Structure 1
Amino acid sequence: MTTTLPFGTWPSPITAEQMASGGTRLGGAQLVGDEIWWTEGIATEGGRIAIVRSTGSGAEGAAPEVVLPAPYNARSRVHEYGGSAWTAVPAGFGDHGDADDHDSHEPPLVLFVDFASQRVHSLVPGHEPHPLTPVGPEVPSAHGPSLRWACPTPVTLEDGTREVWWICEDHTGGADGPRTDADGAPHVERYIAAVPLDGSAAEDPAAIRRVTPASRFVAAPALSPDGTRLAWISWEHPQMPWDGTLLHVAPLIDGQAGTGEIVAGATDVSVLQPAWLDEDTLLYLADDSGWWTPQRWSAEDGARPVLPGGSPHAEREFAGSLWMLGTIWMHVLDADRVLVQHGRDADALGVLTVSTGVVTDLDQPLTLISSIAVGEGGLLVIGGASPTAFPALHTARLTLDPAPALSPLQVLRSSRQDAPDPAALPAGESIEVPLAGGGVVHAIVYRPRQDGFAGQDGELPPFIARVHGGPTSHVPPVLSLPVAYYTSRGLGVVEVNYGGSTGHGRAYRDRLKGQWGVVDVQDTVAVMEHLVSAGIADGARLAIEGGSAGGWTTLACLTRTDTFAAGVSSFGVAELESFRSDTHDFESRYIDGLVGPYPERRDLYVERAPLSHVDELECPVLLLQGDEDRIVPPSQSEMFRDALAAKGIPHAYLLFEGEQHGFRQSATIIRATEAALSFYGQVLGFTPLDVPVLDLDRG
């Protein structure tokens, strides 16, 4: 029997409390001895990231054992977005290369970055952590610790010495103290450094050895198997890592590398993730063909592509945007075979035979692959999600001969132990919407769905456009509880991968160059107009929401078009001049490529800003913001709030204490989720069930 109710009023089994406390933020796994370790975000403990390990029970959903005790939080602030912040090495690692002499039953040594202090710590499970890096000097412009660390990389040098290298983000300005660059910005530099494991550097910064010269940005250190050569990537302002990077290869002499030879990359070629196949051959990913694809380099043959002409995989992305340091897209299996991720709308997994350039795709159900760990005997631990399953860690066995094959995936740990009834979950439909000037925009449509409920005769559903952040990012077709929260209540959702998104080649990414606030707006509006013309959405009840750069697009759509009746901006960018100076170093020149150089194109900075067009805004807005956000500071939301109040536009501004860029605390997630639903109900004309009424300031 089907119950007919207005769209938006359907009773739903999916609650904000479930979204806040029922889900677990899972990090990538590592194989530690014969155990599987990973990280989990604990919302009930302020969102701290704990290192955990499998109990060995093998039961799906079995609670893992916590290795990292509270209040320690394994999270890096390098680039503010962080990246890999921990590793584990065998007992005795670094003891002059004699780790193999230690009892194999001794617990491993855990190395991690603690979020509060950003100091590297060592931990023997069951004991108290000890710091390995010093407290950096106070530098006010750093807005937090002046020394930060990420991407621990265990290495073995040519003489057999074992060390752990880290990427250091240094706000101190060097020996002469804090200083500014030619453009007036605080000087920040990054380099690869060896941190002693004996704790000697905790009080003596001189005990830390710089391995590479400083650059504005560095990533992906890879030491050759014989310990003689180091490869890494670097880039400088105003490039972002998806714009252009340089691949260095340098001999390692007395534990240090010079600038080395630049073997690939340019300001308009993005090179990512170097990995050695053997002592002489380096594999990496580059987009000089228009797609991130595998390339190889050797001193004898130079650089050349791996995929042959006409390869069916030539127009696939084998990498993505490097927002998080330590992101890995390929894993060397032996000197000729590599496990690779590739895709367009969705991720796929395959084995690349380098000598032939042939990719053998593996049968598996995931459409988003977030992490892979490779262990002995072909054991894989794969993090990912699919259109029918929430993010989870899975185990599988990879066999290579006679042909690559993958065993069925087994769930090790799901992000949700309380997954809703499939009857309340939506099905995504990938669409391509033609654009008036040629080309298409990619999107995923989720129509309202809950078995047993339907809208009233003649009624079309309200639809919410969700625009991702970045803006160089990508939303794949996967099961999403925030989406299901809306669709199970009778609201439609469309995820828009506007021009600038990854997954569709360099030309699609470059559509946003100089056009931020134009192309993203036009693409989003084109998708909504398509849904209305196709009779899928109610054109009078369209809303939009997004966070960070998605918040910018939300505000730009609201102020520059009359398409939407309501919008929710979470920590969104509202104007560009103060944002450029207030935001963190990683993105401080990002806008040069998205809008134009400053101050030469100050006119565009002013003209594009949603704050400049509040007079053209007629619809209500909800602003959500964390008070400790360093990426998009609260001032951005507050300037927009003040402009809304001055014009008398209904609005609400919720500032959440202790939250950074993205909400992690249970109480915050509940409040923000319910506030958005109440807001949409008030503006779009429906009465949602079981959520507090949000008070709007009506001027």
Structure 2
Amino acid sequence: MQTLAYGEWPSPVDAATAAAHDGSPEYVGFVGDEVWWTEPRPAEGGRRTLVRRHADGTEESVLPAPWNVRSRVIEYGGHPWAGAVRDGEPLVVFAHFPDQRLYRWEPGAEPVPLTPVSPVGPGLRWAEPVVLAERGEVWCVLEEFTGDGPSDVRRVLAAVPLDGSAAEDRGAVRELTGERHRFVTGPRLSPDGTRAAWIGWDHPRMPWDGTELIVADVAADGTLTGARTVAGGPEESVPQADWTHDNRLLYASDRTGWWNLYRDGEPVCARPEEFAGPLWKLGQRWFAPLDGGLIAVLHGKGAQRLGVLDPETCELVDAAGPWSEFGPTLAALGERVVAVGAGPRIFHEVVELDTRTGRARVIGAAHRDAVDPAYYPEPEVRTFTGPDGREIHAQVYPPRNPDRTGPAGELPPFVIWAHGGPTGRFPLVLDLEIAYFTSRGIGVAEVNYGGSTGYGRDYRNRLRGRWGEVDVEDCAAVARALAEEGTADPARLAVRGGSAGGWTTAASLTTTDVYACGTIIYPVLDLTGWGTGETHDFESQYLETLIGPRAEVPERYEERSPVTHADRLRAPFLLLQGLDDVICPPVQCERFLDRLAGRGVPHAYLTFEGEGHGFRRAETMVRALEAELSLYAQVFGLKTPGIPALELTP
């Protein structure tokens, strides 16, 4: 063990290694008895491929480059594929990211388009397909733009012919519902085929504020009749619904303050923990009913574990294994459950649970150590005290390196991470971006500030009307507490975040003196512009709850915006932005930089062509991560050989 200054420790976790392990498997499902899922390919332009697990256990990427299985519905996307078995062979339907058309794929053939290209605005988009081979249709969500503006859009449930007759004919697409709601999720058909359930909501609510669960009858000709609301409301969020094997309606609702399960309107084993989460992507699944009557569930306070719930006895048994966190992408067939799990020392893996034996095993994307695990960070799950004595949940990752220690009497620099959303949470999983810093002697603290999910509706609602205040205060409280207890160097604190986390970072730098520098990634910076046409439809009225009704408190939109307080900024910063970002567009950064011109604040602005909201290309992630380390090295006075120097300009 050698002594070396914190932040200068040599590490095998380089930026390329971190980039290669970014992202996770997602959207698992069954095609016949086989398990399929999507998987990222950072080295292939950031596309997502579709992986098939054959009966013999081998994996095959069935769609080579440039096919990209990803939907753009509501911009964050949704479940982009579905499959069935026809004539003994798989038949798969998927959304292709570049043109957003639905395609049909069968072994030995090239994908065939099923939907047309629209000349209007961003066109036609599709998500949550359900292949109904017996009907010769795919039922799904249709998002159709009616003009060039981000809110010139309508969303309905639709049926697309499997024979390709709609590929050039929009009129061949059969609409299943009217425009009852601004937003809808995909249909879930009851096992007997007589009913369909889906979720809808309207501006200004977000799906974690309030939704409606709708049920309709399915007529013999495939039309939906008698649509009625059976659960939900303005202050009740229903993020998922499904049917049990005996045609009973199962759904999650937070009517008691926690997302719990209900069956035909009656609570199923009510507990003060979450059995669902925020619906950021259409088709996310936190539970899956099994044929025998049990329910596979994700549940917990904070991190969500995989378990099997007996709705009759309330017995809940968790899957044994090293996975501390599972993503909202469950699938079930018979008594088999497939999920994506990870842990503090394990990358995301595709996991299958046999509920008859209780055995869980890895069946895809198996973890392989990128470096010696001794370099992985070790999280400390902690609760801090914030203003007014409120609880703040956080995950603290101190510096960790098997070969180095810091000098006696020296405290390490720390970076406070603010998550996106802001209605979201940091998962408790291995992240090599964190290891990139902790293995070099720089600590990281992920703050699940007030407004985060996983801790009940009251905790989530703390941010209502107070975005830019509660999140900033909570991050600062954690930073100060780490400094006061002797964990972090108070003179070497940084803050970083992307999207809503970028907002929190910029707001922190312009309204507090806690941090020596910060990294702002594809941020919201100007509420007056972002909420009036500079973002996508899904979040275009999000600020009505985060900030307050614009008609009642218009001054608050300007007062809270970091762009308004750019003159207060003194700390050096790095600004990272994708040029194709339609959620937090580059104009937000440009306006912020214009306000800073001539003020002498050292900064760098890096932009990336072909990147949207969330970096997906390996080369982008490498450049961004190395630039961030260089910023900290310059501000904290560190030597980082081999890292390209970031040019900071006033």
What range describes the TM-score normalised by the shorter chain of this pair?
over 0.9
For these two proteins, the number of residue pairs brought into alignment is 647
Q: Which residue in 1 is equivalent to 2:449?
A: 498
Contact between 1:248 and 1:263, CA under 8 Å: does it hold in 2? yes
Question: What is the deviation of 1:689?
Answer: 2.7
Question: What is the deviation of 1:384?
Answer: 1.4
Q: Which residue in 1 is equivalent to 2:168?
A: 203
Question: What is the deviation of 1:418?
Answer: 4.7
Contact between 1:133 and 1:203, CA under 8 Å: does it hold in 2? yes
Structure 1 residues 460 and 486, CA gap change in structure 2 (3 angstroms): same
Aligned to 1:360, what secondary structure does the other structure show? strand
Q: Which residue in 2 is equivalent to 1:5?
A: 4
Q: Which residue in 2 is equivalent to 1:83?
A: 78
Structure 1 residues 568 and 374, CA gap change in structure 2 (3 angstroms): closer
Contact between 2:120 and 2:145, CA under 8 Å: does it hold in 1? no
Structure 1 residues 30 and 279, CA gap change in structure 2 (3 angstroms): closer
Deviations 1:215-243 (A, max 9, x none): 21001421122211111110000000000
Question: What is the deviation of 1:35?
Answer: 3.0
Q: In structure 2, what is the Cα distance between the partners aligned to 1:362 and 1:55? A: 24
Question: What is the deviation of 1:24?
Answer: 5.9
Contact between 2:627 and 2:644, CA under 8 Å: does it hold in 1? yes
Q: Verify: 1:295 aligned to 2:295, yes or no.
A: no
Question: What is the deviation of 1:679?
Answer: 0.7
Q: In structure 2, what is the Cα distance between the partners aligned to 1:225 and 1:193? A: 20
Q: Which residue in 1 is equivalent to 2:217?
A: 251
Question: What is the deviation of 1:353?
Answer: 2.1
Alignment of 1:407-418 (within 5 A): 407-410=359-362, 412-414=364-366, 417-418=368-369
Question: What is the deviation of 1:383?
Answer: 0.9
Q: Which residue in 2 is equivalent to 1:306?
A: 268
Q: In structure 1, what is the Cα distance between the partners aligned to 2:148 and 2:595? A: 36
Q: In structure 2, what is the Cα distance between the partners aligned to 1:374 and 1:49? A: 19
Structure 1 residues 408 and 66, CA gap change in structure 2 (3 angstroms): closer
Aligned to 1:202, what secondary structure does the other structure show? coil
Letter in 2 for 1:466: W
Q: Which residue in 2 is equivalent to 1:167?
A: 141
Contact between 1:68 and 1:125, CA under 8 Å: does it hold in 2? no
Letter in 2 for 1:638: E
Structure 1 residues 274 and 445, CA gap change in structure 2 (3 angstroms): same
Aligned to 1:527, what secondary structure does the other structure show? helix
Q: Which residue in 2 is equivalent to 1:218?
A: 184
Q: Verify: 1:514 aligned to 2:481, yes or no.
A: no
Contact between 2:288 and 2:331, CA under 8 Å: does it hold in 1? yes
Structure 1 residues 627 and 22, CA gap change in structure 2 (3 angstroms): same
Contact between 1:364 and 1:406, CA under 8 Å: does it hold in 2? no
Aligned match for 1:281, one of 248, 268, 271: 248
Contact between 1:164 and 1:195, CA under 8 Å: does it hold in 2? yes
Q: Which residue in 2 is equivalent to 1:29?
A: 28
Contact between 1:644 and 1:650, CA under 8 Å: does it hold in 2? no
Q: In structure 2, what is the Cα distance between the partners aligned to 1:410 and 1:70? A: 26
Q: In structure 1, what is the Cα distance between the partners aligned to 2:226 and 2:590? A: 44
Deviations 1:32-54 (A, max 9, x none): 23433222221222111111223
Alignment of 1:484-563 (within 5 A): 484-563=435-514
Deviations 1:453-496 (A, max 9, x none): 01111100000001100000011322111100000000000000
Deviations 1:524-553 (A, max 9, x none): 111111101110000010001000000000
Question: What is the deviation of 1:179?
Answer: 9.4
Q: Verify: 1:628 aligned to 2:577, yes or no.
A: no
Contact between 2:284 and 2:329, CA under 8 Å: does it hold in 1? no
Q: In structure 2, what is the Cα distance between the partners aligned to 1:348 and 1:395? A: 14
Question: What is the deviation of 1:55?
Answer: 5.6
Q: In structure 2, what is the Cα distance between the partners aligned to 1:365 and 1:614? A: 46
Aligned to 1:28, what secondary structure does the other structure show? strand
Contact between 1:147 and 1:171, CA under 8 Å: does it hold in 2? yes
Residue range with higher mean Cα deviation, 224-233 or 551-560: 224-233
Aligned to 2:137, what secondary structure does the other structure show? strand
Q: Verify: 1:125 aligned to 2:77, yes or no.
A: no
Q: Which residue in 2 is equivalent to 1:263?
A: 230
Q: Which residue in 2 is equivalent to 1:189?
A: 154
Q: In structure 2, what is the Cα distance between the partners aligned to 1:22 and 1:285? A: 32
Letter in 2 for 1:602: P
Q: In structure 2, what is the Cα distance between the partners aligned to 1:497 and 1:683? A: 26
Question: What is the deviation of 1:324?
Answer: 1.1
Structure 1: which 5+ residue stretches go unaligned? 92-101, 173-177, 298-302, 309-313, 400-404
The percentage of counterpart residues that share the same residue type is 47
Question: What is the deviation of 1:30?
Answer: 2.2
Aligned match for 2:617, one of 665, 670, 676: 665
Q: Which residue in 2 is equivalent to 1:360?
A: 317
Q: In structure 2, what is the Cα distance between the partners aligned to 1:277 and 1:33? A: 19
Residue range with higher mean Cα deviation, 255-264 or 108-117: 255-264
Contact between 1:500 and 1:509, CA under 8 Å: does it hold in 2? yes
Aligned match for 2:98, one of 111, 116, 124: 116
Letter in 2 for 1:109: L
Q: In structure 2, what is the Cα distance between the partners aligned to 1:565 and 1:305? A: 50
Residue range with higher mean Cα deviation, 354-363 or 128-137: 354-363
Letter in 1 for 2:456: G
Contact between 2:32 and 2:84, CA under 8 Å: does it hold in 1? no
Contact between 2:452 and 2:460, CA under 8 Å: does it hold in 1? yes
Structure 1 residues 373 and 288, CA gap change in structure 2 (3 angstroms): closer
Deviations 1:370-423 (A, max 9, x none): 155555564333211112211122234221xxxxx5214335323x64522111
Structure 1 residues 426 and 211, CA gap change in structure 2 (3 angstroms): same
Q: In structure 2, what is the Cα distance between the partners aligned to 1:468 and 1:411? A: 30
Letter in 2 for 1:642: D
Aligned match for 2:604, one of 652, 658, 677: 652
Q: Which residue in 2 is equivalent to 1:18?
A: 17
Q: In structure 1, what is the Cα distance between the partners aligned to 2:260 and 2:582? A: 34
Structure 1 residues 52 and 179, CA gap change in structure 2 (3 angstroms): closer
Q: What TM-score, normalized by structure 1, do the two folds share?
A: 0.89
Structure 1 residues 683 and 56, CA gap change in structure 2 (3 angstroms): farther
Structure 1 residues 128 and 284, CA gap change in structure 2 (3 angstroms): same
Contact between 2:286 and 2:330, CA under 8 Å: does it hold in 1? no
Letter in 2 for 1:386: G
Question: What is the deviation of 1:356?
Answer: 3.5
Structure 1 residues 366 and 615, CA gap change in structure 2 (3 angstroms): same
Contact between 2:78 and 2:127, CA under 8 Å: does it hold in 1? yes
Q: In structure 2, what is the Cα distance between the partners aligned to 1:378 and 1:74? A: 28
Q: In structure 2, what is the Cα distance between the partners aligned to 1:436 and 1:21? A: 40
Q: Which residue in 2 is equivalent to 1:138?
A: 120
Deviations 1:62-100 (A, max 9, x none): 7x3221122121110001010211122212xxxxxxxxx
Structure 1 residues 377 and 588, CA gap change in structure 2 (3 angstroms): closer
Alignment of 1:375-454 (within 5 A): 378-399=335-356, 406-410=358-362, 412-414=364-366, 417-454=368-405
Q: In structure 2, what is the Cα distance between the partners aligned to 1:259 and 1:480? A: 48
Letter in 1 for 2:632: Y
Question: What is the deviation of 1:212?
Answer: 1.7
Structure 2: which 5+ residue stretches go unaligned? none
Letter in 1 for 2:188: A
Alignment of 1:565-604 (within 5 A): 565-580=516-531, 581-604=533-556
Q: What TM-score, normalized by structure 2, do the two folds share?
A: 0.96
Q: In structure 1, what is the Cα distance between the partners aligned to 2:331 and 2:124? A: 31
Deviations 1:593-648 (A, max 9, x none): 10012243210000000111112111011000000001100111122222233322
Letter in 2 for 1:475: F
Q: Verify: 1:642 aligned to 2:594, yes or no.
A: yes
CA RMSD in angstroms, aligned pairs only: 1.9
Contact between 1:432 and 1:440, CA under 8 Å: does it hold in 2? yes
Deviations 1:254-278 (A, max 9, x none): 3222462211111111012111125
Q: In structure 2, what is the Cα distance between the partners aligned to 1:231 and 1:391? A: 31
Question: What is the deviation of 1:583?
Answer: 0.1
